[in-house]
Amino acid sequence: MPTKRAAVADVHAPSVALPLQFILTGIAALLAASVWLVVRPIILAGYHYSPEVLAATHLFVLGWICSVIMGAMYQLVPVALETRLHSQRLARWHFALHVTGFIGMVVMFHREDMKQVGHFGSLVAIGVGLFVHNLARTLARIPRWNVVAAGIASSLCWLSLSILAGLYLAAAKCWSFSQFAPLAQLHAHAHLGGLGFFVMMIVSVSFKLVPMFTLGEVQSVRRAGWSLALLNAGLAGAFVTVLLSSPWKIIFALVVAAGLAFYGLEIISILRARKRSRLDWGVKYFLTALVLLAPVLVLGVVLAWPGLPANELTLQLETTYGFLALAGVVTFAILGMLYKVVPFLVWYASYSKAIGQSKIPALADLYSHPLQAAGYWLFLGGLLTASAASALGHDSCVRAGCVALLASFVVFAVNIGMVLSHLVRPRIEPLIAHSALQTNTRPLP
Amino acid sequence: MNEAIVNVDARGLEPPQPLVAILEVLSCLPEGSELHARTDRRPLHLFPLLEQRGFVGETEEQHDGSFVTTIRRA
């Protein structure tokens, strides 16, 4: 007996152009940031509180990570939560504000003009306001509230707080009114964005995407819920204690660790119960990113330890911690998901109307699997080399690692270019023999 | 089994294979028949394509967590 009927008329995803313009902007920013690191390895080999590091970090974080996550969210949230995007028009305004804002911020950070950083940051903030409003209105109409929706809502709250904290930081630099230590404010702002928006979003959507791509199911909704609750509680406490430079931050680092441990257990359970034994490269990229959460977590707990001496090594480890989290966990997870999302978007836009009527390529024919494998190993080699060299403050080895990372990103861009070529020139051929009815039907049990 | 009903079991397939399986069968669906497609997830991307081809579909969730979409000519 059926249990529920679908209200399918109100379900659809936005046009392919909307997510793709965010994603392509993100890839351009990723390549630019990687070239910057190759040319100026001191960004990773030196201390992280400098105008150049802040400029490069915001190119990476706003230009690459935020652009891609926001573009993907406009596509995934309506589909994953079975509803309709509130407004594509608002999303297009968001794109214009976001691109203008982040490029201006990067330039002004580099020029050490904090007043203009605040102005361009305000454009980014208005864009984020439109993004959050758009997704909040979309979430408000979902038929069933679940752990994925709760996680996405949490990440949107943390994103908003992160942007407000960033504007506060810029204003405090201009008018010197803040009573908090500048470095503590910076670290608190970074954790709101990195852990609150990026990691929370990755955790939330993976409860939908990992089962979808491995043909499995969430094994324990309660465990998934606990992982989100602990992450939220840990981050709230970590934000306050980092801001106040309190020794109690270790407690909240451990709460975050507990949340991620619950998450890891749930992902392992999903993978053990999956129906698809072979994992493709996109899923391998994503799962490797999740494995990289472990060293980031260990570094985070070590750096939160009460009474940790502030020497050359521990200060460099702060840089390594941020690099491994953003370039390792978040970037690898995004690359993996883009290898799933972009081919599907392009395939659907180019070929869905011809299914059953013409000969069309399979989804996996849109990109090169050897290039995916090459990109994976270049990325891992580059990341580990650059991370170790960053901890040791070794310029040349940072450059060597970043060259490998850049090569990996170029390989990724080439592969995505191959996928996008199907949008420009679809490979549709006449159907020669048609025996679909005989080959694809199976009786329902 | 009713002769006017064609069944497709597209469970255990990764997207977009369920879409392909359903639409390929639909392209040679006999006049007067309806298609019952069982999938692991609600086939959200299917509905605009059904509309373009002159079909309508309605999805019902089953007790086992799968979904059955009934498709007929509009």
CB-closest option in B13, B20, B28 to A355: B20
Strand residue runs (E) in A355-441: 358-359, 429-430
- What does each C-alpha distance from A247 to A227, A265, A295, A308, B3 come to in angstroms? 24, 29, 22, 10, 73
- CB of A358 closer than 8 Å to CB of B23: no
Residues near A97 by Cβ (< 8 Å), separated by ≥ 6?
A123, A124, A126, A127, A130
Dist. CA A116–CA A109, nearest whole Å: 8
Q: Locate tokens 């094994």: which residue?
A: A219
> B 51-70 residues with CB below 8 A of A?
52, 57-63, 65, 67-68
What is the distance between the alpha carbons of residues A192 and B13, in angstroms, rounded to a whole number? 38
* DSSP letters spanning A22-81: HHHHHHHHHHHHHHHHHH-THHHHS-S-SHHHHHHHHIIIIIIIIHHHHHHHHHHHHHHT
User: DSSP code of A363?
Assistant: G
**Test mutation, B1, B27, B34, chain A, max A CBs within 10 A:** B27
Q: Provide the terminal-to-terminal Cα distance of chain B, rounded to the nearest Å.
A: 23
- A217 in contact with chain B, both atoms CB, cutoff 8 A: yes
The residues, ordered by sequence, that sit 6+ positions from B68 with a Cβ below 8 Å of its Cβ are A2, A444, B36, B37, B38, B59, B60, B62
pLDDT at B25 over 50: yes
How far apart, in whole angstroms, are the C-alpha atoms of residue B58 and residue A24?
A: 36
Task: Using CA coordinates, name the residue in chain A closest to B18.
Answer: A440
Rounded-to-integer distance, Cα B20 and Cα A5, Å:
23
User: How many residues are present in chain A?
Assistant: 445
Q: What is the phi/psi pair of residue A185, to 5°?
A: -60, -45
C-alpha–C-alpha distance, residues A6 and B71, integer Å: 13
Q: What is the pLDDT of residue A80?
A: 75
Among the partner-chain residues A1, A9, A356, the one whose CB lies closest to the CB of B27 is: A356
Tell me which residue has tokens 């972009």. A342
Per DSSP bridges, beta strands B34-39 and B67-73 are antiparallel
Region B36-56 average pLDDT: 90
pLDDT at position A397, please? 97
Could you report how far apart the first and last alpha carbons of chain A are, in Å?
13
Residues A329-345 as b/e (b if ≥16 CB within 10 A, e otherwise) read: bbbbbbbbbbbbbbbbb
Nearest residue in A to B27, CA atom: A356
Q: Are A302 and A255 in contact (CB under 8 A)?
A: no
What is the predicted pLDDT for the residue at B14? 83
Give residue A237's identity as a one-letter amino acid code: G
Single-letter code of the amino acid located at A13: A
Answer yes or no: do B62 and A3 touch at CB < 8 A: yes
Asked if residue B3 has pLDDT above 80, the reply is: no
| Beta carbons of B39 and B10 less than 8 angstroms apart | yes
A90-122 pLDDT per residue, tens: 999 999 999 999 999 999 999 999 999 999 999
Q: How far is A80 from chain B (nearest CA, A)?
A: 9
Query: Counting one residue from A and one from B, how many pairs have CB atoms under 8 Å apart?
Result: 106
Q: Could you give the CA distance from residue A113 to residue A105 in angstroms, rounded to a whole number?
A: 9
Strand, helix or coil for residue A409: helix
Dihedral of CA atoms A244, A320, A281, A76 in degrees, nearest 10, equals 30
Say how far apart CA A30 and CA A68 lie, in whole Å: 10
**CB spacing of B7 vs A442 below 8 angstroms:** yes
Please give the CATH number for the structural domain made up of B5-69: 3.30.110.40
Asked whether the beta carbons of residue B24 and residue A440 sit closer than 8 angstroms, the reply is yes
- Among residues 25-54 of chain B, which lie with CB inside 8 Å of chain A? 25-29, 36, 38, 40-42, 44-45, 47-49, 52
Measured CA distances, A275 to A112, A212, A264, A319 (Å): 54, 11, 19, 40
Q: Please list the ranges in chain A whose pLDDT falls under 70.
A: 1-13, 432-445
Nearest CA in chain B to A356: B24
Q: Which tokens in the block code for residue B3?
A: 């002769």
Q: CA-CA distances (angstroms) from residue A49 to A56, A80, A186, A328, A387? A: 12, 39, 9, 20, 18
Bond preceding residue B16 cis, omega within 30 of 0: yes
What are the contacts of B55-58 at 24+ separation with CB within 8 A? B55/B26, B57/A8, B58/A5, B58/A6, B58/A8
Please tell me if residue A77 touches chain B, with a CB cutoff of 8 Å. Answer: no
What does the pLDDT read at residue A144?
A: 79
- Which among A217, A276, A353 is the nearest to B52, CB-wise? A353
Contacts of A181-184 spanning 24+ positions with Cβ under 8 A? A181/A245, A182/A49, A183/A49, A184/A242, A184/A243, A184/A244, A184/A245
Extents of the domains making up chain B = 5-69
A430 touching chain B per CB within 8 A: no
Q: What does the alpha-carbon distance between residue A187 and residue A204 come to, in Å, rounded to a whole number? A: 23
